[in-house]
Amino acid sequence: MDVTSVLLEKKIVAIFRGITDQQADAAAHALVDGGISLMEVTMNTDGALPIISRWREQWDGIAYIGAGTVLNVSMAQEAIAAGAQFLISPNLDEDVIAYGAERGIDVWPGVMTPTEIVRAWSAGAKLVKLFPMGFLGLSYLREVRAPLNHIPMMATGGVDLNNIADTFSAGASAVGLGTKLVRPDLLARGDYAQMTANARAYVEAVAGDFVTKG
């Protein structure tokens, strides 16, 4: 099973950005305990590459570890060398998609317009990241998904427990969750048990009948 297939089954990518090593390790453990199976460390996080490398060893066979905010081929090269199993970008760079494909690494590029979505799909992306969803809104997702329902879309930005059912009903195939899972308030007080419980709530939410199968 490739990583995109895993994402389409599990539905959630947890996004780690701007977090210290110690907090990252504890938070990752909490999220895995809560049922999260895919975790992304953004490349603009200090120590991102060592974290990816360490987590690949620690969570091998349990969770998939990827790199986020991969803006170009140079960053893709560094991330894959560190052990990233998937790459996520806020932008569309066909060269990054090709670089990953040549190495068996799935790339989920950031897109906004129908033109970008189709370009990413034509370049070989198996799934695209619709970003920023917090700004675009569910009506946009619903409308752009209608003519492009053969292309799986991950909604990133603005998704929480209150609207996650509506997000999938609007056509999302997966969601990217940052501070809703890696919550700053829980990190600040070291409440990793609550972080696990919160993660479990999201995992249970995406198991609902509203989830699309695309």
As annotated, the active-site residues are 40, 129
The SS3 assignment for 178 reads: coil
Q: Which H or E element spans position 167?
A: helix 164-169
List, in sequence order, the alpha helices (H) in 1-47: 3-10, 21-33
Q: Before 147, cis peptide (omega within 30)? A: no
138 CB neighbour count, 10 Å cutoff: 18
82-104 burial code (b ≥16 CB/10 A, e <16)? bbbbbbbbbbbbeebbebbeeee
Largest CA distance in the chain: 46
Asked if 110 contacts 133 with a C-beta cutoff of 8 angstroms, the reply is no
